[in-house]
Structure 1
């Protein structure tokens, strides 16, 4: 028997555990398959690269607060090539300097005293940390801490620049995106074994252009015909014989038609199957939990090597088109992303967005898009204008709803609205604070508010729930995406908007402070300073 890899421990009952990948295998052949597999090899390479990096790096502290990475880099260049300088997150208390090769690091360590700007530097070999599979430790959306964020925004030239900077700090990096694609590819590979021809589609914030660090990975597992039986195309009656037979078949089909109850049971069984596949067959996945009772049933999961959390749903084709629609909105006008990121951060700080009775991020984003449709001239076209522009191959219908729109923004006319970001943001606050939320249905399809006096629109769309805030999904017209919002939260939304609109009229909002005071976006993003309200979370 070959020597077992140092990452592998033998389990009492004959199985093996790979401690690098947190994977248990039942027998030798499946262990060998794991050790030869892409995932294990990738982590082995990653670990080797980290180790080599560690052997070229030194740990530096004791430099003055105002020293930046460029100055450190310049100092250490005297000893040989410098590959990178990483400062600690907070205040420049220490740095890790990676030299270009081991010789350069030796040269640094062989000099007994270092000083920079009159300060004595403390330079030590970098401790070899135990290699951990790259998992993110930060909570959702937390990547740049508030201190970093505030510092970066304070230095921007104006509110518009602050908004653009905010996007840059919160959006996913290229590396984070690639990690997500790898997890999607891994899932695709495993699910294809069980459901040949299936497609794993990421949707939601991974593809809708409003991603933030640590956002969930939402996946739609499209099983094709297995999921939604397509109606059999009717043949034109060519001969009496054929007509006869067709009727006979239809009779049988209607006997077999499932009752919703059986359909529900089947859906739940399918969900459990997906849960078992995630649990047993996708390396690195843990904490798998099926939630069959949700409006859209899902299986939740976490993936240890990447640190990602997410969910898989079997029946969320509409959400896929919604995500693509949001992404198209961002492509149509460069002001969409800065506005949405800013308003999401603002709403979060005010305790307006989240789960339960609060606005979902999706609802808040649609509110911003609706606002942009209602400017004069409009910043974004209405959904029905987009539907009319859809090309030949772009006609899509899901569950009877029309989800057609162009896939490519370059074919569409850009907006002639030239308002700057700072002014659009201020307008959002004053507009929302004055809308009659309860008395109208905000329709992105029409780009206007439809009156609901006498419940008019909801008769048009069976099942639309009206309430204190009515915001219609762009495609599923019977869905009020804010149906969960209570009158208390809707009232707070308008009060917070009113306070923000007031603040936006001040010089503190409009001008960069020369005296190091908080200005522009900063007071809007700090947890409630403008509203004097009791918070009930």
Structure 2
């Protein structure tokens, strides 16, 4: 049931995306139409019925979504084939082991390698297929058994009956949109709000990309089934929190015991004792995991063991699923944070498009970087957007505070990590029954975001999602964003003062762009924001007071007598200030000269 619910929701998203593109984008854009048809379109044989049902199913809580996705992965295999057309023969072959629910196609390695994701109706059918599958010779490769296989050509003409009614659910589903295709789509929009929605629809993780990430996690679990049959590799971060874009990295946290806890059984497994927490032991465990990935698991390449970090991780690239991975064995707070962001993004349909646009803008103007450093991270940028949407000062808030979720938590929502971090909060937004009265469109919210933080007092105030108020900074970091789950931590501690000033400067530039556009150019709307890195705009384009917001552009060029008089008065004031500075400077010079002469006379007397 849960599998069908999540599947319907993703089908609905793709269906609406297809509708938006058909209505908003010039049909003569053959390149964009080709990408749209190959990358994100689900065949219409199931869309209308599933889309209708998805509206009735409602919100799927994060943990249920995770269980459903993990169930899909356990009932699926990834098979390398000769081409996309191999799906008919592969479907016929796999049908001898059970019922095939779905087949998805994608390419990797520069579109030279073709893969099919085959989902069965039962996990036992997958186990039967894997039991019957064979290995290569020992001298050709390690005989490991995982959910990653390849479909070899038949030595003789295949006698399998191929059904003509079978079709691929998605073809070339892991295609990352090209930058020029994205810009063409944005140029074809009618307004900025439409641009923001289109950017989100094109770049967000699709069905195939999501399944590939859970299949990657499943491979790690299967690697450990012998010693750790309950092991679970939990995806967290952008891959599951609803803010991931096509091509994003996969963060994994490995739990060897999974969800299994001590029961009433009198028989207990013998195990190696751990004498307290020793960081070196954790590093050794991670080192062993890195060796397993490097020497035994197919597709795992570019293994990098970063064991001296505060949280030891293994970075690797899974070339068969085309995913960059970060594997750790730390606590579950990262999964809980993903749950929180997933909920915030699901409360209002404007949240995720706004976050996608602001993070895209931050990347284009150089505020964020893929490598760690002193700049703002995507995670911090996301929290800044969510905190802004909680503010009651600018307009009715769109999002509730985190403390509201804590107060409404039930008995089933209680969770405390092994490190004592309390991650208890309401996990089903339908029980919250929160509905905002804010009706501002995405364009208006984007402008308000830029204005809000361009005048925010970062020198004394901290950003806090727990309550919709700015609190006094507990320390002197340039940018302080309170970690909602661990309130004593600053998630933006790495940000330097220089990068914060750059952030405020780019906010002023973005505000000026959004307010000053009067007609469309080749790069208009948010496209102009993305280009502002190469341009310089007036530094005083933002007016701090909320009442006046920004000056209308036409007023800047008003030739009325009142404007001329105000300019004359300002010029006179400036001249008086300059004259006063000159007088003060001359007086200081005279005083210094007098002091020097006094010292000289005293020395001569001696």
TM-score class, shorter-chain normalisation, is 0.5 to 0.7
1:411 alignment partner, one of 409, 431, 454: 431
Q: How far apart, in 2, do the equivalents of 1:314 and 1:37 lie?
A: 21
Q: CA deviation at 1:226?
A: 12
Q: CA deviation at 1:145?
A: 2.5
Relative to 1, partners in 2 of residues 1:42 and 1:194: Cα closer, same or farther, differing over 3 Å?
Answer: farther
- Contact 1:500–1:530 (Cα < 8 Å) also in 2: no
- Contact 1:135–1:305 (Cα < 8 Å) also in 2: no
Alignment of 1:42-61 (within 5 A): none
Q: Secondary structure at the match of 2:463?
A: strand
Of the structure 1 ranges 307-316 and 499-508, higher mean CA displacement relative to structure 2 is found in 499-508
Aligned to 1:213: 246
Q: How far apart, in 1, do the equivalents of 2:457 and 2:292 lie?
A: 48
Relative to 1, partners in 2 of residues 1:468 and 1:37: Cα closer, same or farther, differing over 3 Å?
Answer: closer
CA RMSD after TM alignment: 3.6
Relative to 1, partners in 2 of residues 1:405 and 1:226: Cα closer, same or farther, differing over 3 Å?
Answer: closer
2:283 alignment partner, one of 249, 268, 272: 268
Q: How far apart, in 1, do the equivalents of 2:438 and 2:427 lie?
A: 22
- Contact 1:468–1:485 (Cα < 8 Å) also in 2: yes
Q: How far apart, in 2, do the equivalents of 1:507 and 1:400 lie?
A: 51
Q: How far apart, in 2, do the equivalents of 1:174 and 1:322 lie?
A: 22
Q: Does 1:445 align with 2:466?
A: yes
Relative to 1, partners in 2 of residues 1:43 and 1:29: Cα closer, same or farther, differing over 3 Å?
Answer: same
TM-score (ref. length: structure 1)? 0.65
Aligned to 2:414: 395
Aligned to 1:523: 528
Q: Secondary structure at the match of 1:299?
A: strand
Q: How far apart, in 2, do the equivalents of 1:27 and 1:445 lie?
A: 58
Q: How far apart, in 2, do the equivalents of 1:225 and 1:340 lie?
A: 32
Relative to 1, partners in 2 of residues 1:159 and 1:271: Cα closer, same or farther, differing over 3 Å?
Answer: same
- Contact 2:183–2:527 (Cα < 8 Å) also in 1: yes
Q: How far apart, in 1, do the equivalents of 2:153 and 2:358 lie?
A: 42
Q: Does 1:383 align with 2:383?
A: no
Relative to 1, partners in 2 of residues 1:265 and 1:226: Cα closer, same or farther, differing over 3 Å?
Answer: farther
- Contact 1:135–1:304 (Cα < 8 Å) also in 2: no
Q: How far apart, in 2, do the equivalents of 1:379 and 1:357 lie?
A: 31
Q: How far apart, in 2, do the equivalents of 1:289 and 1:32 lie?
A: 21
Q: How far apart, in 1, do the equivalents of 2:308 and 2:258 lie?
A: 23
Relative to 1, partners in 2 of residues 1:42 and 1:423: Cα closer, same or farther, differing over 3 Å?
Answer: farther
TM-score (ref. length: structure 2)? 0.58
Q: Does 1:39 align with 2:54?
A: no
CA displacement, residues 202-230 of structure 1 (integer Å, 9 cap, x when unaligned): 00111011111211111110124899x99
Q: Does 1:495 align with 2:505?
A: yes
Q: Secondary structure at the match of 1:192?
A: coil
- Contact 2:509–2:537 (Cα < 8 Å) also in 1: no
Of the structure 1 ranges 488-497 and 374-383, higher mean CA displacement relative to structure 2 is found in 374-383
Q: Secondary structure at the match of 1:310?
A: strand
Q: Secondary structure at the match of 2:225?
A: helix
Q: Secondary structure at the match of 2:305?
A: strand
Q: Does 1:337 align with 2:352?
A: yes
Answer with 1 or 2: which has the greater Rg: 2
Q: CA deviation at 1:196?
A: 2.7
Relative to 1, partners in 2 of residues 1:523 and 1:504: Cα closer, same or farther, differing over 3 Å?
Answer: same
Aligned to 2:292: 277
Relative to 1, partners in 2 of residues 1:156 and 1:285: Cα closer, same or farther, differing over 3 Å?
Answer: same
CA displacement, residues 215-259 of structure 1 (integer Å, 9 cap, x when unaligned): 1111110124899x99x9xxxxxxxxxxxxxxxxxxxxxxx863x
Alignment of 1:425-504 (within 5 A): 425-452=446-473, 455=474, 466-504=476-514
Q: CA deviation at 1:43?
A: 7.8
Q: CA deviation at 1:197?
A: 1.4
Aligned to 1:356: 373
Aligned to 1:168: 201
Q: How far apart, in 2, do the equivalents of 1:165 and 1:135 lie?
A: 18
Q: CA deviation at 1:175?
A: 1.6
Q: Does 1:421 align with 2:442?
A: yes
Q: CA deviation at 1:313?
A: 0.7
Q: Secondary structure at the match of 2:484?
A: coil
Q: How far apart, in 1, do the equivalents of 2:225 and 2:378 lie?
A: 32
Alignment of 1:152-301 (within 5 A): 152-224=185-257, 258=276, 263-301=278-316
CA displacement, residues 477-502 of structure 1 (integer Å, 9 cap, x when unaligned): 12211100000000010111112112
Unaligned 5+ segments in structure 2 are 1-81, 83-112, 115-134, 158-166, 264-273, 539-606
Q: CA deviation at 1:402?
A: 2.2
Q: How far apart, in 2, do the equivalents of 1:315 and 1:33 lie?
A: 30
Unaligned 5+ segments in structure 1 are 1-6, 8-19, 49-82, 85-97, 99-133, 233-255, 459-465
Q: CA deviation at 1:30?
A: 9.2
Q: Does 1:365 align with 2:385?
A: no
Q: Secondary structure at the match of 1:278?
A: helix
- Contact 1:322–1:475 (Cα < 8 Å) also in 2: yes
Q: Secondary structure at the match of 1:161?
A: helix
**Greater strand content:** 1
